[in-house]
């Protein structure tokens, strides 16, 4: 199955998020089969990411957005964070600081885009500035509605400079979210995650869905596509995202650089050292 | 075995790096036993680091220094990089840029120290400014010789603000280094790592050893100890560093925060949502 094709929002496509499945099992017979597939994809990702790191010519940006409890943290831990930490950084974007608010909304984002050879993972992102900001009425429509175009130009600029961009939305049903809230409540180890605000956001489910929908429709571009990932099953979420990242890295086709040294010179240096050591 | 006690450079201690073993097997019968120990320690590290991340009150800085081919990259991949990527960042410090050289030597370092809840791993560090800079005569002695005190004050300042500091030196023998250079040469996949400069640095082994020695003697403090890790056996290197990091995190004793929400309120919110869903 081609997970990229399956879940990619086509540029210009009209989206009905409400009617997109959250529960698919895709081609997997069961959880175990999906986990095996994920493990295989993670090994491919590790191999390709290492090549990209050494090649030092292009970079990858993975943007994650999702309702609360949809599984961003689990996905990072089990899939994306399995990359070599020397070539991969995760950036959380929380409520902006006073200093950050003193700048345009892309200022804090731009500082975290990946340099050549590197992967950046954004846990939330500049999309909050057309999502939460819109639903909670933090900035007026006259401001946020102009940001879609600003975002597209920004992302095209990154792409032109050699950054491949994947934007992943974890799509869960409100029923599954409530189930997960319950699990947090039932497990004292997870009590620190409890927050009445989760229920406030939940009460605005339709408004958020509308905001997501417009963001995906207007900002899924060839340079920076959005993917809507059915995420009620954690194992499908992991398997499909791992596949999309692996396929993307594979298409980036990173190449180990040819040595730019004289091999004969290195050999001579080695042999001289060996001789010195043996005397 | 208490690896912290075993390998810690005591403040004020005179060091003879040359006579420190590089090949110890410690308490391990063989490679397999060491690997099992490392796996156990890594699980402890993951658990404690997650607690520290959630606790959000203290931080950890791990500084790595070593001769070429001593295994910093392998150690990061197999041990340190196994931490949750949301709470851990690796920073390489290469030859400083023109802009960085326009500042004092700690400027670029300070930007990468860990905030509360986080771990920073430094692949090379501010110690290069009393090591390579000294041996290669890049700045005069009158400058670098004053830096030991500057470093100690800097590190004490970090410690006062809640950062625990571990400084790890991977101690390999010149024979083992040469063996690893050969392996790089023999494996075309590793040719990109070949560099005649490695042999130049190698020819200054004694000068580097003297520089390391003075740095460890003058900058191993209670607030920021140096550890000299026998690193000829990769599995001993991994097992001992994993133990030191696990013990350190355990002594930092991170605690999951108590929920600051009203559990009854959350329960009522949940039940109201559930009722709504069932109608």
Output the tens digit of pLDDT for each of chain B's 279 residues: 999 999 999 999 999 999 999 999 999 999 999 999 999 999 999 999 999 999 999 999 999 999 999 999 999 999 999 999 999 999 999 999 999 999 999 999 999 999 999 999 999 999 999 999 999 999 999 999 999 999 999 999 999 999 999 999 999 999 999 999 999 999 988 898 898 888 998 999 999 999 999 999 999 999 999 999 999 999 999 999 999 999 999 999 999 988 888 999 999 999 999 999 887
Contact A54/B195, CB-based, under 8 Å?
Answer: no
Rounded Cα distance between B202 and A46, Å, is 32
Instruction: Report the candidate in B159, B161, B77, B172 with the shortest Cα–Cα distance to residue B121.
Output: B77
Contact B259/A191, CB-based, under 8 Å?
Answer: yes
Instruction: Report the candidate in A14, A37, A28, A20 with the shortest Cα–Cα distance to residue A231.
Output: A20
Q: What is the pLDDT of residue B197?
A: 86
Rounded Cα distance between B105 and B194, Å, is 28
Within 13 Å, how many C-alpha atoms sit on residue A41's CB side?
Answer: 25
Mean of pLDDT values over A172-187? 95
Q: What is the pLDDT of residue B150?
A: 98
Q: What is the pLDDT of residue B2?
A: 96
CA separation, residue B175 to residues A263, B22, B74 (Å): 21, 11, 19
A62 pLDDT above the threshold of 90: yes
Of B85, B256, B262, the CB nearest to A90: B85
Rounded Cα distance between A85 and A5, Å, is 29
Report the range of poorest mean pLDDT among A36-40, A101-105, B93-97, B275-279. B275-279
Q: Which residue of A has its CA nearest to B87?
A: A90
Give me chain A's average pLDDT, please. 96
- DSSP state letter for B8: B
- DSSP state letter for B163: E
How many of the other CB atoms lie within 10 Å of CB of A204?
14
A85 pLDDT above the threshold of 90: yes
> Which residues on chain A are in Cβ contact (under 8 Å) with B266?
185, 194, 196
> Which residues on chain A are in Cβ contact (under 8 Å) with B263?
185, 191, 194
Contact A85/B86, CB-based, under 8 Å?
Answer: no
Q: What is the pLDDT of residue A31?
A: 97
Q: What is the pLDDT of residue B261?
A: 87
Q: Which residue of A has its CA nearest to B123?
A: A86
Q: Is residue A269 helix, strand or coil?
A: helix
Instruction: Please report how the helices A147-160 and A205-219 are oriented relative to each other, as an axis angle in degrees rounded to 10.
Output: 50
Instruction: Tokens 């931490």: give the residue.
Output: B83
Contact A85/B85, CB-based, under 8 Å?
Answer: yes
Q: What is the pLDDT of residue B116?
A: 98
Which residues, including other chains, have CB under 8 Å from residue B30's CB and lie 6 or more apart? none
Which residues, including other chains, have CB under 8 Å from residue A97's CB and lie 6 or more apart? none
Q: What is the pLDDT of residue A134?
A: 98
Domains of chain B listed by start with CATH number: 3-278 (3.40.50.300)
Q: What is the pLDDT of residue A230?
A: 98
* Lookup: tokens for B188: 């075309």
Of B192, B199, B270, the CB nearest to A185: B270
Q: Is residue B63 helix, strand or coil?
A: strand
CA dihedral B254, B258, B261, B263 (to 10 degrees): 130
Of B76, B202, B270, the CB nearest to A182: B270
Contact B192/A259, CB-based, under 8 Å?
Answer: yes
User: Model confidence over A65-81: pLDDT tens digits?
Assistant: 999 999 999 999 999 99
Find residue A63's DSSP bridge partners. A122, A167
CA separation, residue B235 to residues B6, B23, B35, B44, B78 (Å): 17, 11, 6, 18, 10
> Which residues on chain A are in Cβ contact (under 8 Å) with B192?
54, 256-259
Contact A269/B192, CB-based, under 8 Å?
Answer: no
Give yes or no for a contact between B119 and B60, defined as CB atoms under 8 angstroms apart: yes
* Lookup: tokens for A235: 């194992």
Q: What is the pLDDT of residue B179?
A: 96
Confidence of residue A93 (pLDDT cuts 50, 70, 90): very high
> Which residues on chain A are in Cβ contact (under 8 Å) with B81?
84-86
Instruction: Report the candidate in B70, B53, B71, B91 with the shortest Cα–Cα distance to residue A88.
Output: B91
Residue B57: left if φ>0, alpha if ψ -120 to 50, beta else—which one? Answer: alpha
Q: How far is A189 from chain B (nearest CA, A)?
A: 8
Please report which helix (H) or strand (E) contains residue B210, including its range. Answer: helix B205-219
Rounded Cα distance between A193 and A186, Å, is 12
Confidence of residue A261 (pLDDT cuts 50, 70, 90): confident
- DSSP state letter for B159: H
């Amino acid at each position: 199955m081609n997970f990229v094709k399956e879940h990619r929002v086509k540029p210009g496509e009209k989206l009905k998020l409400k009617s997109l499945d959250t529960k698919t099992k895709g081609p997997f017979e069961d959880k175990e089969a999906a986990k095996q597939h994920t493990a295989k994809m993670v090994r491919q990702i590790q191999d390709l990411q290492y090549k990209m790191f050494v090649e030092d010519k292009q970079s990858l940006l993975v943007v994650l957005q999702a309702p609360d409890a949809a599984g961003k943290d689990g996905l990072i831990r089990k899939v994306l964070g399995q990359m070599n930490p020397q070539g991969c950084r995760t950036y959380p974007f929380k409520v902006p600081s006073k200093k950050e608010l003193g700048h345009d909304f892309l200022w804090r984002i731009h500082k975290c885009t990946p340099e050549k050879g590197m992967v950046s993972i954004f846990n939330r992102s500049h999309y909050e500035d057309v999502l939460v900001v819109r639903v909670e009425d933090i900035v007026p429509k006259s401001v946020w509605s102009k940001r879609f175009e600003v975002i597209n130009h920004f992302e095209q600029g990154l792409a032109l400079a050699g950054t491949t961009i994947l934007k992943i939305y974890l799509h869960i049903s409100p029923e599954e979210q409530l189930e997960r809230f319950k699990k947090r409540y039932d497990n004292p180890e997870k009590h620190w995650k409890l927050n009445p605000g989760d229920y406030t956001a939940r009460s605005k489910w339709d408004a958020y869905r509308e905001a997501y929908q417009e963001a995906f429709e207007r900002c899924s571009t060839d340079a920076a596509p959005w993917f809507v990932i059915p995420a009620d099953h954690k194992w499908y979420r992991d398997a499909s995202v791992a596949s999309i990242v692996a396929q993307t890295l594979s298409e980036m086709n990173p190449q180990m650089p040819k040595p730019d040294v004289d091999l004969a010179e290195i050999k001579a240096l080695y042999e001289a050292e060996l001789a010195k050591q043996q005397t």
